[in-house]
Amino acid sequence: MWSFSFQRRFLHSSLCLMKKLKKSKTAAEQRWLQRQLKDPYVKASHKQNFRCRSAFKLLEIDDKFRLLQPGCSVVDCGAAPGAWSQVAVHRVNSAGTDPAAPPGTVVGIDLLHIPPLDGAHFLSCHDVTVPPTHAKLLELLPKRSGSYLAEKILLPGGSLLCKYLDGILAHELQEKLSRVFNSVQTLKPNASRKDSAERYFLARIYKKP
């Protein structure tokens, strides 16, 4: 039954892309749609019911570094459409699907609307940089957790994973992180396209100032 559901969803998505490909007018639109049709991570995301291909970036990083453990609290900033939250819900057991493991907490925040997800609390249409959002976030967290709001909600020993675009400001950000974390690594998962400037900083073992 599930296999049929996944295959049907993937087929529908592929047909939608083909229709868009026929309707697209610009060369850039044609190239983007052709890339989507050929992208193995796009295909896998439909087959495994992830909201977008970025889920595989987090899966790859977490498989290697084991950041997401049952009982952990996770804040997903810029969460829409919710693929990283899907991964986090499963790995920290925030939906309580494993009764033998401690339940975690997942909170997603974005200026955009985020479709509901069992096991996650979403603050859609919220600005993560303003105090009212911080107050709502702290109400939802049983324990403070990790995000770039580190001074407000990160516990000593916590971790931060953030995306950045490679450029002149990246070194400055790395230096700032190095002052408050014991370890800062630069990562580029295999699921990140080779021609993309995106990278990730993994900062571990937060040192409370």
**In what side-by-side order are the strands of the sheet with 73-77?**
73-77, 105-110, 121-124
- What's the rounded Cα separation, in Å, for the pair 164 and 169? 9
Paired with 74 in beta bridges are 106, 146
- The DSSP-derived string for 61-87 is HHHHH----TT-EEEEET-TT-HHHHH
Of the candidates 43, 47, 136, 163, the residue annotated as catalytic is 163
- What's the rounded Cα separation, in Å, for the pair 48 and 67? 22
Paired with 108 in beta bridges are 76, 122
Say whether 207 is catalytic. Answer: no
Q: Which helix (H) or strand (E) holds 162?
A: strand 160-165
Active site residues: 163
